[in-house]
C-alpha cells in the first residue's frame, strides 16, 4: 500500500481543519442584534392607551415582555405571546380592561371624634397616585395625621383621618343694632352646627334682630341668634345690617318662629304700600292651597286659595320687618311670595 499524504491542511486563518473541511468548534457562528419586536398596549377595542415599545434582541435569545402598570386599566390578556426573539411582524399585543377604583375617604375630626367638616371623597383612576392634606383653615390645630398621607387608588376603599384640637365654636361680638335681612327664603336651626333645619323657613325680604352670635373656629361661619332657639348661619342667603333707628315694635320682637298668630300682628306696622289693581296667579301646587289672613300676621281664616288660581290684588303693603303682603279685593291678605307679581 502506498504512503498516506502527510500534507497538513490549514484554514485561511491558520487553524487546522478536518479533511472534509468541516469547521472546528473554535469557529463561532455570527450572532446579530437583528430581531425587532413591537409591543402594543391596547384596550378591549384595540385602541392604543399608551405608546408602543420596540424591543431588540439576538435571534432565539430570551425575550422579556416590558409589562406596564397603566392607571385606570388592568391587564386582561396577551395576543401573540412569545418568550424568545423570533421574527414577528404583527408584534405582541397586551390587552387592558378599563377598571374603576374605589374612593379614598378623608375624615377631619376634633378630639371628641366628631366631624368638623364633611368627609372628603377622592376619586381617581386605578393605580393613580393620590395625596391628602389637612384643612387649611384648621391646620394650626392639627394634632394627628395619617401615617402615610399619600398612596395609590386601589379596588378597595381607603380611609384617612386628621384630628384637630379645636373648640367647635366661640363667641362672636356683634353690634347691638344688628339685624339680619333675608335675600331668599332661608333655613333656620334650633342650635349652631345643627345639620337639620327647622320645618319653617324665614321668608324672602324680611329683617330680624340678631341678639347674639357665635363663630365656627375652623371655617369662620357665623351663627346669628334671632331669639330663643332660632339660629341662622352666615352661609344662608342673608345680609347683616345695622339699623340704629329701632321702633318700639321692633324691640318687642321675639323669636320669629315662636310668635303666635294671635299676637304677632301687634308687633308690626305698615311702613310702605303701593296700588296694584290687577289679576295675578297663585304660584303654588295646583292640588294644594295657601292660607288667607284677615290682617298680616294676624288672624288666619278658613278662606284658602288654590295653587294657580287667579286673584285680584288691590295693593301690596310692607311691614316694618320688611315682609311684603298683598291685599286682595275680597279683603284678605296673602304673602306676596306666593303670587307672580
Nearest-angstrom CA–CA distance, 18 and 27: 13
Bigger pLDDT: 154 or 289? Answer: 154
Q: Is the pLDDT of residue 316 over 50?
A: yes
Query: Exposure pattern of 268-280 as b/e (b: 16+ CB <10 Å)?
Result: beeeeeeebeeeb
Measured CA distances, 306 to 200, 291, 309, 310, 311 (Å): 21, 9, 5, 9, 10
Residue 214 has a pLDDT of 94
Count of alpha carbons within 13 angstroms of residue 183, beta-carbon side: 8
CATH code: domain 35-98 is 3.10.20.320
Confidence of residue 13 (pLDDT cuts 50, 70, 90): very low
Q: Do 293 and 332 form a contact (C-beta atoms < 8 A)?
A: yes
Angle at 250 between CA 260 and CA 318, to 5 degrees: 80
Question: Computed from CA positions of residues 147, 150, 154, 157, in that sequence, does the dihedral angle turn out positive or negative?
Answer: positive
How many angstroms from the chain centroid is the CA of residue 263?
A: 45
Write down the domain spans for the chain: 35-98, 104-164, 169-251, 269-338
For the beta carbon of residue 335, count every other beta carbon within 10 angstroms: 19
Closest CA to 293 of 260, 328, 262, 334: 334
**Rounded-to-10 torsion of CA 37, 42, 47, 50:** -80
Closest to 141 in 3D by CA, of 117, 118, 166? 166
Q: What is the mean pLDDT of the chain?
A: 81
More confident residue, 25 or 168: 168
- Please give the model's pTM, rounded to 2 decimal places: 0.36
**pLDDT per position as a tens digit, 102-160:** 899 999 998 888 888 889 999 888 888 999 999 988 888 898 999 999 999 998 999 99
Q: Answer yes or no: is pLDDT of 168 > 70.
A: yes
**Which residues fall within 8 angstroms of residue 245, CB to CB, at 6 or more apart?**
none
Report CA 162 to chain centroid distance, whole Å: 19
Amino acid at each position: 500500500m502506498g504512503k498516506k499524504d502527510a500534507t497538513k491542511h490549514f484554514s485561511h486563518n491558520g487553524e487546522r481543519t478536518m479533511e472534509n473541511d468541516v469547521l472546528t468548534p473554535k469557529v463561532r457562528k455570527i450572532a446579530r442584534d437583528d430581531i425587532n419586536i413591537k409591543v402594543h398596549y391596547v384596550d378591549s377595542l384595540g385602541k392604543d392607551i399608551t405608546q408602543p415599545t420596540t424591543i431588540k434582541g439576538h435571534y432565539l435569545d430570551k425575550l422579556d415582555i416590558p409589562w406596564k402598570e397603566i392607571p385606570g386599566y388592568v391587564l386582561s390578556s396577551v395576543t401573540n405571546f412569545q418568550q424568545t426573539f423570533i421574527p414577528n411582524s404583527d408584534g405582541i399585543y397586551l390587552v387592558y380592561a378599563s377598571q374603576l377604583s374605589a374612593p379614598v375617604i378623608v375624615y377631619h375630626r376634633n378630639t371628641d371624634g366628631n366631624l368638623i367638616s364633611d368627609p372628603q371623597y377622592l376619586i381617581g383612576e386605578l393605580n393613580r397616585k393620590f395625596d391628602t392634606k389637612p384643612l387649611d383653615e384648621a391646620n394650626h390645630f392639627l394634632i394627628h395625621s395619617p401615617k402615610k398621607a399619600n398612596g395609590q387608588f386601589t379596588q378597595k376603599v381607603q380611609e384617612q383621618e386628621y384630628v384637630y384640637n379645636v373648640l367647635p365654636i366661640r363667641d362672636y361680638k356683634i353690634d347691638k343694632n344688628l339685624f339680619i335681612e333675608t335675600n331668599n327664603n332661608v333655613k333656620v336651626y334650633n342650635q349652631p352646627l345643627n345639620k337639620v333645619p327647622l320645618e319653617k323657613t324665614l321668608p324672602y325680604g324680611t329683617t330680624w334682630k340678631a341678639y347674639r352670635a357665635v363663630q365656627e373656629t375652623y371655617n369662620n361661619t357665623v351663627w346669628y341668634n334671632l331669639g330663643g332657639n332660632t339660629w341662622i348661619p352666615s352661609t344662608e342667603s342673608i345680609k347683616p345690617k345695622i339699623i340704629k333707628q329701632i321702633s318700639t315694635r321692633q324691640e318687642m320682637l321675639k323669636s320669629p318662629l315662636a310668635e303666635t298668630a294671635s299676637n304677632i300682628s301687634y308687633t308690626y306696622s305698615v311702613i310702605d304700600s303701593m296700588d296694584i289693581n290687577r289679576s295675578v296667579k297663585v304660584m303654588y301646587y295646583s292640588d294644594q292651597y295657601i292660607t288667607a289672613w284677615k290682617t298680616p300676621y294676624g288672624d288666619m281664616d278658613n278662606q284658602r286659595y288654590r295653587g294657580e288660581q287667579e286673584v285680584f290684588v288691590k295693593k301690596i303693603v310692607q311691614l316694618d320687618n320688611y315682609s311684603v303682603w298683598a291685599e286682595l279685593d275680597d279683603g284678605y291678605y296673602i304673602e306676596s311670595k306666593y303670587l307672580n307679581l
